């Protein structure tokens, strides 16, 4: 229904106004979304480089690239902190959520546009604090476990302060999105007609609100512990180092779903469009996001099965961990069933979405190994965990993110990229990713511990393979980045609705006008009415 | 299959491997199933023309119930099995032999019931259950022996425990698996599983290691001393190339005149070196901190002799 | 998705033009504030969890050291904050009734109460520092300084908000019926009060 696209003469793209203040002080959710996108992409690439350096070091068992083990430890701390706190947590939620939520629900902006701008600037302040921390980086790992983080001489305060500040940004954004979805849906956009990306963003926002304050107070306690010499986590002063782990994972496990649920939303948008089929089991997908969000608050102890927790606690948390796998499995089956009797087009974004299904399945299934208590004892803190985590975070979230980049690109910029190059870079990313991380499952089962700057010789062949894979992956991402940047300068103007999507954001010119909708649309059917007679 | 499963050398290993294999088989099955439909549908329903008809299917309750219930049942089986095996891991038999383990940045120290001590090398007997009572002197560490499939965090706040019954003689790696700073990846130890005879000899004898362990007692003393120099961690503080470290260099040490903190002078002969290994703080060389642990009960007289012979070769 | 376009009728007037209608803004702002207050409670919730854990672990320590706290100042401050919540509620009420002068008076009283609270707290802290009681003394004092300090920061933020509300009121914003800010600001002030109501017995009234 591309009839809404025809731009009238007064149409002015949201990108039209130029100048620094027109961007820095904008309250336009689309511009804020683009600013987030650029910032998080920068941190993604920076964190990717630290990963390549680590993999390069791990080519040989001895230390040869870095001059001290502490340098390696700093590298993995930076990699983890940048990826988790600066890219993947705010990543899809803040960048794509900002751009898409109002467009998809038929609103002119988010509920609190000025607060939205504030969130972005708070985020930026956090990143600036982090950048200064780069001069004196910490070596604790992104988990900042006590008592090591209290004892170490490296500068833990700056990096945790940066993360603490980011927390405010997350909370404000989450609140903004929840209110937006509740109050600003266009007439006729009932809850059961909402695009699944909105459901996913909504579940994510709730997680952000509930979990972020806890990590905020945890990091604040850590900062106080280091600066005021108090002893919440210090056994010598009567404190308890395990308390930190409890606090930290109470946030950080739901945070895993803050990272991945938006990707579920993206996949649920891309697949129906390119299969020209309604999403299979709409309610199951929508509600399972909530099931995951809720259960995710009650599984944090599964990160601590070998820390000496009681058997009963371990049993309960292992059981709940298994429960999370159920809604996750349902989603995978639903996406698969959506393809049945469809008309499938292999656009680059669809390739990412399909590889998401495959990789996320592996990520999810290997999570079951780790949920089984006795097996977790063996696998905990080995490369198996590293591989599992990356299959969920890259195979899941990042594949979804890349898919989104290619899918909504024409919508954002009114331009298009070279599709053939995009497919080629997808192939490199897919192959490179698997070559990098699949050997790590085996390495982990054989006992290779994580966070080792040097390692016993028997693991070398797997490490070498993994490093080669990281080069392929790096090359793929590099080509993808160049292709996407080059697209902005291309003259190719895509059709208004190139995929014949039924979702609201495609029923308007690309790039969208500043005010989104001249007249607020009235919605008469759900987003996925493909092939409806 | 055997290549990715490490050798199983404890009573607990086979159970863990069985669960792993069960989950692996299920995972491979589901992964192949999903991949098959992914590829099959992608080929069969690829877009052949722009106006290709598609079916309007929004769901199917029966199939959705099926694919919710079956994974749920399987997951519960895995949970139950994992928990049962976990209980076994948590309940050491009453007659288990106790060993105290002290983890510190970055070494493992073992204290046995008979007063013996060792650093980075643990001695256990094949077929005899062992219970480790572990504590940390500084940050959190984690004790991990892949071949035994056991792991336990070692905390500074209270004791944690771990048990196993070794089922094969041999030497296995101990890894620290909780990140603990600069030396984390070097915090490695060995478990020596001895046959009952060798273990009895180790227990009885002043000699610390069994045969062919602890530097190799059948080697010439100087060579054995060289092995002990690195195995017992002397190399962390005493260089061989003349560089000053935490302690004095070993280069040219033997026969050297050393100035002590009280101003007197000693010649580093056999007896002085032996005393300095057993009671390091008795005669401290001026300019060094009194930080060396006493090796009385950790190194035997034979081993000290071997180290002295090794020092004589370091001119 | 099939869509049509809304007519320019009164029904959809609220969703038209650049701003949102007053009713939507009001609802949204209040809803947003409630969500935000929830996160504030979770923030303090972390500290309360730590408090529960350590009090269970060291009951004697808590009983012993809470005696050193200045109960009189604590009680006084509790009444000051309770009273300020009452005046804040009145300020909101008068703003809704478009009584500009009364709104100003009660906002000002609330602000002064906040200031009194801060001054009393300052003397309490100063006295502790004179006795060389710092957060590093023990877990009880670490918790005492962390919770009351974090609460103090919230009082300051609340006072800044009240100043901003006073400014808006002077400009006559509330008289025009746009009283959303004062209602939302009031909610925040009540939360500051509420947290103190929990902190006070947990710290000053143990045993």
Quote the pLDDT of residue C25.
81
Kindly list the residues from chain C whose CB atom is less than 8 angstroms away from the CB atom of residue A521: 3-6
d(CA A267, CA A277): 13
B149 and B184 part of one domain? yes
With respect to residue B7, please indicate whether it lies within any of the assigned structural domains. no
Is the peptide bond prior to C123 cis by the omega test (within 30 degrees of 0)? Answer: no
Indicate the pLDDT class of residue A130, thresholds 50, 70 and 90.
confident
B226 and B198 part of one domain? no
Mean pLDDT computed over every residue of chain A: 91
- Name the residue in chain A with its Cα closest to that of B148: A378
B185 and B245 part of one domain? no
Subunit contact C136:A193, Cβ cutoff 8 A: no
Q: CA geometry: angle at B262 spanning B260 and B268, to 5°?
A: 25
The model's pLDDT over B146-184, given as tens digits with 9 standing for 90+, comes to: 999 999 999 998 899 999 999 999 999 999 999 998 889
Subunit contact C50:A232, Cβ cutoff 8 A: yes
- Name the residue in chain A with its Cα closest to that of C135: A230
d(CA B191, CA B173): 6
B164 and B239 part of one domain? no
Indicate the pLDDT class of residue C17, thresholds 50, 70 and 90.
very low
| Cross-chain CB nearest to B55 (options A341, A362, A453) | A341
Domains of chain C, start order: 23-204 (1.20.120.80)
- Name the residue in chain B with its Cα closest to that of A153: B181
Of residues A299 and B231, the one with the higher pLDDT is A299
Percent of chain A past pLDDT 70, that is, above it, reads 98
Rg (CA), chain B: 28
Which CATH number does A31-506 carry?
1.20.210.10
B102 and B189 part of one domain? yes
Indicate the pLDDT class of residue C90, thresholds 50, 70 and 90.
very high
Kindly list the residues from chain A whose CB atom is less than 8 angstroms away from the CB atom of residue B87: 311
CATH classification at residue B157: 2.60.40.420
Of residues B186 and C90, the one with the higher pLDDT is C90
Mean pLDDT computed over every residue of chain C: 86
Rg (CA), chain A: 23
B272 and B304 part of one domain? yes
Determine the length of chain A: 533
Looking at the predicted structure, is the pLDDT value of residue A231 above 90? no
d(CA C129, CA A228): 14
Indicate the pLDDT class of residue A9, thresholds 50, 70 and 90.
low
What is the least distance, in Å, from the CA of A335 to any CA of chain C? 20
Residues contacting residue B12 through CB under 8 Å, at least 6 positions apart? A374, B85, B88, B89, B148, B149, B150, B164, B165
Cβ-in-10-Å burial (0-12, 13-18, 19+) of A208 comes to: buried
Looking at the predicted structure, is the pLDDT value of residue A10 above 80? no
Subunit contact A231:C146, Cβ cutoff 8 A: no
Q: What residue spans define the domains of chain A? A: 31-506
Kindly list the residues from chain A whose CB atom is less than 8 angstroms away from the CB atom of residue C29: 112
Mean pLDDT of the C22-43 span: 88
Subunit contact A237:C138, Cβ cutoff 8 A: yes
What distances in angstroms separate CA C8 from CA A183, A521, C5, C20, C189, one per listed residue?
20, 11, 9, 15, 41
Indicate the pLDDT class of residue B286, thresholds 50, 70 and 90.
confident
B154 and B121 part of one domain? yes
The model's pLDDT over C124-172, given as tens digits with 9 standing for 90+, comes to: 999 989 888 888 888 899 999 999 999 999 999 999 999 999 999 988 8
Kindly list the residues from chain C whose CB atom is less than 8 angstroms away from the CB atom of residue A233: none
| Cross-chain CB nearest to B155 (options A241, A276, A314) | A241
With respect to residue B138, please indicate whether it lies within any of the assigned structural domains. yes
Mean pLDDT of the A494-508 span: 89
The model's pLDDT over A384-435, given as tens digits with 9 standing for 90+, comes to: 999 999 999 999 999 999 999 999 999 999 999 999 999 999 999 999 999 9
Q: Residue B55, Cβ neighbours under 10 Å: how many?
A: 14
CATH classification at residue B243: 1.10.760.10
The model's pLDDT over A48-66, given as tens digits with 9 standing for 90+, comes to: 999 999 999 999 998 889 8
Q: By 3-state DSSP, what share of chain B in percent is helix, strand and coil, each rounded to 5?
A: 35, 20, 40
Kindly list the residues from chain B whose CB atom is less than 8 angstroms away from the CB atom of residue A337: 57, 60, 63
Subunit contact A4:C6, Cβ cutoff 8 A: no
B162 and B190 part of one domain? yes
Kindly list the residues from chain C whose CB atom is less than 8 angstroms away from the CB atom of residue A507: 1, 3
Tokens linked to A233: 């986590």
Quote the pLDDT of residue C3.
53
Q: Is the distance from CB of B98 to CB of B113 less than 8 angstroms?
A: yes
The model's pLDDT over A315-334, given as tens digits with 9 standing for 90+, comes to: 999 999 999 899 999 999 99
Quote the pLDDT of residue C138.
87
Range of the domain at B200: 97-204
Subunit contact A381:B151, Cβ cutoff 8 A: yes
Subunit contact C39:A230, Cβ cutoff 8 A: no
What distances in angstroms separate CA A143 from CA A247, A249, A440, one per listed residue?
11, 9, 21
What is the least distance, in Å, from the CA of C187 to any CA of chain A? 16
Count A/B contacts: CB-CB distance under 8 Å. Answer: 274
Quote the pLDDT of residue A455.
93
Subunit contact C32:A112, Cβ cutoff 8 A: yes
Q: Name the DSSP class of B297.
A: T
Of residues B223 and A100, the one with the higher pLDDT is A100
d(CA A255, CA A219): 15
Kindly list the residues from chain B whose CB atom is less than 8 angstroms away from the CB atom of residue A309: none
Mean pLDDT of the C188-206 span: 92
- Name the residue in chain A with its Cα closest to that of C141: A230
| Cross-chain CB nearest to A447 (options B6, B64, B183) | B6
Alpha-carbon torsion, ordered A520, A523, A524, A529, to 10 deg:
140
With respect to residue B68, please indicate whether it lies within any of the assigned structural domains. no
Quote the pLDDT of residue C81.
94
- Name the residue in chain C with its Cα closest to that of A503: C1
* Residues of chain A numbered 212-241 and touching chain B (CB < 8 Å): 235-236, 240-241
Indicate the pLDDT class of residue A1, thresholds 50, 70 and 90.
very low
d(CA A462, CA A455): 12
Whether A183 and chain B come into contact, CB under 8 Å, resolves to no
**What is the ipTM metric for this complex?**
0.90
Domain boundary among B204, B236, B269: B204
Tell me the three state secondary structure of residue B250.
coil
Looking at the predicted structure, is the pLDDT value of residue B215 above 60? no
The model's pLDDT over B80-134, given as tens digits with 9 standing for 90+, comes to: 999 999 999 999 999 999 999 999 888 898 988 887 878 888 999 999 999 999 9
Identify the chains in contact with A, defined as 3+ C-beta pairs within 8 A: B, C
- Chains C, A in contact: 3+ Cβ pairs under 8 A? yes
Subunit contact C5:A522, Cβ cutoff 8 A: yes
| Cross-chain CB nearest to A111 (options C28, C46, C145) | C28
Q: Based on the structure, what is the number of domains in chain B?
A: 2
Chain-centroid distance of CA A103 in Å reads 21
pTM of the model: 0.87
What distances in angstroms separate CA A409 from CA A78, C30, C118, one per listed residue?
29, 35, 53
Whether A139 and chain B come into contact, CB under 8 Å, resolves to yes
Quote the pLDDT of residue A493.
79
Indicate the pLDDT class of residue B216, thresholds 50, 70 and 90.
low
Of the listed ranges A492-501, A521-530, C41-50, the least confidently predicted one is A492-501
d(CA B112, CA B128): 14
| Cross-chain CB nearest to A241 (options B37, B88, B157) | B157
B186 and B235 part of one domain? no
Of the listed ranges A329-333, C194-198, C202-206, the least confidently predicted one is C202-206
């Amino acid at each position: 229904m591309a009839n809404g696209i025809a731009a009238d003469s007064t149409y002015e793209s949201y990108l039209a106004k130029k100048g620094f203040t027109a961007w820095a002080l904008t309250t336009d959710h689309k511009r804020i979304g683009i600013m987030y996108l650029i910032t998080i992409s920068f941190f993604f690439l920076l964190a990717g480089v630290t990963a390549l350096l680590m993999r390069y070091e791990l080519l040989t068992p001895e230390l040869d690239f870095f001059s001290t083990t502490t340098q390696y430890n700093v590298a993995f701390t930076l990699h983890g902190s940048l990826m988790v706190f600066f890219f993947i947590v705010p990543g899809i939620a803040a960048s794509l959520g900002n751009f898409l939520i109002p467009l998809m629900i038929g609103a002119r902006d988010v509920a609190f546009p000025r607060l939205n701008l504030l969130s972005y600037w708070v985020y930026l302040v956090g990143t600036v604090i982090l950048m200064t921390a780069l001069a004196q980086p910490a070596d604790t790992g992104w988990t900042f476990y006590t008592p090591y983080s209290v004892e170490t001489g490296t500068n833990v305060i700056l990096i945790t302060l940066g993360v603490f500040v980011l927390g405010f940004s997350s909370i404000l954004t989450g609140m903004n999105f929840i209110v937006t979805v509740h109050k600003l849906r266009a007439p006729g956009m009932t809850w059961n007609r909402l695009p699944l990306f909105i459901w996913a963003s909504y579940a994510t926002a709730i997680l952000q609100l509930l979990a972020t304050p806890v990590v905020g107070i945890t990091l604040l306690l850590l900062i106080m512990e280091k600066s005021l010499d108090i002893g919440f986590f210090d056994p010598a002063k009567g404190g308890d180092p395990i308390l930190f782990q409890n606090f930290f994972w109470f946030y950080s496990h739901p945070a895993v779903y803050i990272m991945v649920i938006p990707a579920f939303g993206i996949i649920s948008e891309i697949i129906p469009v390119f299969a020209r089929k309604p999403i299979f089991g709409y309610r199951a997908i929508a509600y399972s996001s909530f099931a995951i969000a809720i259960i995710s608050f009650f599984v944090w102890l599964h990160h601590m099965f070998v820390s000496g927790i009681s058997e009963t606690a371990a049993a309960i948390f292992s059981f709940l961990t298994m429960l999370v796998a159920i809604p996750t499995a349902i989603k995978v089956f639903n996406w698969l069933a959506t393809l049945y009797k469809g008309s499938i087009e292999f656009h680059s974004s669809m390739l990412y979405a399909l590889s998401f299904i495959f990789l996320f399945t592996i990520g999810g299934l290997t999570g079951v190994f780790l949920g089984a208590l006795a097996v977790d004892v063996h696998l905990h803190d080995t490369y198996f965990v590293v591989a599992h985590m990356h299959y969920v975070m890259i195979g899941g979230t990042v594949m979804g993110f890349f898919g989104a980049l290619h899918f909504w690109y024409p919508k954002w910029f009114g331009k298009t990229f070279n599709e053939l190059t995009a497919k080629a870079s997808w192939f490199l990313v897919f192959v490179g990713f698997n070559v990098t991380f699949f050997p790590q499952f085996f390495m982990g089962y054989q006992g290779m511990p994580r966070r080792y700057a040097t390692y016993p010789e028997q693991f070398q062949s797997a490490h070498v393979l993994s490093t080669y894979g990281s080069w392929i992956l790096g090359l793929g991402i590099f080509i993808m980045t160049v292709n996407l940047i080059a697209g902005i300068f291309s003259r190719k103007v895509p059709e208004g609705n190139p995929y014949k999507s039924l979702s609201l954001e495609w029923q308007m010119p690309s790039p969208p006008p500043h005010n989104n909708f001249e007249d607020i649309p009235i919605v008469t059917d759900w987003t996925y009415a493909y092939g409806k007679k | 299959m055997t290549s990715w499963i490490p050798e199983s050398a404890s009573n607990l290993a086979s159970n863990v491997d069985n669960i792993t294999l069960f989950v692996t088989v299920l995972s491979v099955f589901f992964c192949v199933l999903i991949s098959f439909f992914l590829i099959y549908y992608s080929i069969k329903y690829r877009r052949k023309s722009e106006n290709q008809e598609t079916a309007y299917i929004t769901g199917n309750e029966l199939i959705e119930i099926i694919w919710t219930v079956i994974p749920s049942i399987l997951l519960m089986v895995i949970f139950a099995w994992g928990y049962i095996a976990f209980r076994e891991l948590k309940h050491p038999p009453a007659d288990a032999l106790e060993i105290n383990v002290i983890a510190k940045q970055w070494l493992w120290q073992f204290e046995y019931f008979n007063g013996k001590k060792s650093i980075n090398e643990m001695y256990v007997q094949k077929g005899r259950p062992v219970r480790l009572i572990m504590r940390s002197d500084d940050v959190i560490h984690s004790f991990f022996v892949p071949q035994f499939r056991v792991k336990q965090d070692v905390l500074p706040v209270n004791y944690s425990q771990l048990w196993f019954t070794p089922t094969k003689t041999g030497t296995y790696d101990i890894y620290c698996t909780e990140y603990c700073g600069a030396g984390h990846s070097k915090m490695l130890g060995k478990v020596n599983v001895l046959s009952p005879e060798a273990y009895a000899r180790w227990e009885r004898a002043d000699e610390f290691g069994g045969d062919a362990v602890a530097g190799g007692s059948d080697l010439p003393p100087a060579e054995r001393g060289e092995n002990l120099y690195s195995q017992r961690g002397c190399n962390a503080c005493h260089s061989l190339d003349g560089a000053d470290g935490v302690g004095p260099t070993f280069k040219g040490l033997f026969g050297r005149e050393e100035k002590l903190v009280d101003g007197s002078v000693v010649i580093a002969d056999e007896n002085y070196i032996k005393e300095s290994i057993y009671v390091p703080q008795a005669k401290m060389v001026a300019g060094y901190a009194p930080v060396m642990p006493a090796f009385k009960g950790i190194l035997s007289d034979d081993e000290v002799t071997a180290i002295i012979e090794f020092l004589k070769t370091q001119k | 998705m099939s869509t049509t376009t809304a007519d320019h009728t009164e029904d959809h007037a609220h969703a038209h033009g650049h701003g949102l209608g007053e009713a939507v803004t009001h609802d949204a702002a209040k809803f947003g504030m409630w969500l935000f207050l929830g996160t504030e409670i979770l923030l303090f919730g972390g500290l309360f969890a730590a408090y529960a854990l350590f009090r269970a672990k060291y009951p004697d320590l808590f009983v012993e050291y809470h005696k050193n706290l200045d109960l009189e100042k604590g009680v006084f401050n509790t009444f000051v904050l309770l009273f300020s919540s009452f005046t804040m509620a009145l300020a909101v009420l008068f703003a809704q009734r478009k009584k500009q002068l009364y709104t100003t008076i009660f906002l000002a009283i609330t602000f002064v109460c906040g200031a009194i609270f801060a001054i009393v707290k300052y003397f309490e802290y100063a006295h502790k520092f004179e006795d060389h009681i710092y957060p590093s003394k023990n877990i009880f004092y670490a918790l005492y300084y962390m919770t009351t300090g974090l609460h103090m920061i919230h009082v300051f933020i609340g006072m800044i908000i009240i100043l901003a509300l006073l400014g808006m009121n002077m400009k006559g914003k509330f008289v025009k019926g746009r009283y959303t800010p004062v209602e939302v600001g009031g909610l925040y002030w009540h939360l500051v009060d509420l947290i103190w109501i929990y902190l006070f017995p947990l710290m000053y009234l143990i045993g």
